[in-house]
Amino acid sequence: MAQSATQSSQPAASPLLAEFEKALIDVDAPGAEKLFKAGIKSTSPLEFMDDVMVPAIENIGSRWDEGKIALSQMFMATRISEKLVNDLPPPAPVREGQPKLAIFFILGLSRIGQDRRSIHATGEWL
């Protein structure tokens, strides 16, 4: 009953949707990840999820309802999609209205280092 995806039961809105859906049905996690990363670079993660990931999962669910794919394919498609979303880094905090921030270290000039050099030079605490 399991088969490879070449066409979904609903027409694909874009080549990316068709490719992503095929990767999910074929349980091609690396391929799905590659398409996901390319998609979020050209749009945003939320846009990719709305325009590609959700329609692909819905199409896969419809194909399972019609008996065209196995339950295991639908299950793995959702697991792969879930992992892709969970692996996204958290969004950076908004810093509007806050001063610019720089963090730097000057090697050898920490207070501890100065104290240590003073101890070695004099043999006692200053």
* 45 part of a folded domain: yes
* 119 part of a folded domain: no
Under the banding of pLDDT at 50, 70 and 90, the label for residue 94 is confident
**Residue 114 is encoded by which pair of tokens?**
């100065």
Look over the chain and give the mean of its residue pLDDT values, rounded to a whole number.
Answer: 78
Q: Could you tell me which residues come within 8 angstroms of residue 111 by beta carbon, excluding any fewer than 6 positions away?
A: none
**pLDDT of res. 124:** 46
**pLDDT of res. 98:** 76
Q: Is 89 helix (H, G, I), strand (E, B) or coil?
A: coil
* 48 part of a folded domain: yes
pLDDT tens digits, one per residue of 105-125: 555 554 555 444 444 444 444
Residue 82 has pLDDT above 90, yes or no: yes
Domain count of the chain?
1
Asked if residues 21 and 9 have their Cβ atoms less than 8 Å apart, the reply is no
CATH number at residue 48: 1.10.1240.10
* 55 part of a folded domain: yes
Residue 13 has pLDDT above 90, yes or no: no
Asked if residues 84 and 48 have their Cβ atoms less than 8 Å apart, the reply is no
pLDDT tens digits, one per residue of 24-73: 999 999 999 999 999 999 988 899 999 999 999 999 999 999 999 999 99
Residue 57 belongs to what domain range?
15-86
Asked if residues 34 and 22 have their Cβ atoms less than 8 Å apart, the reply is no
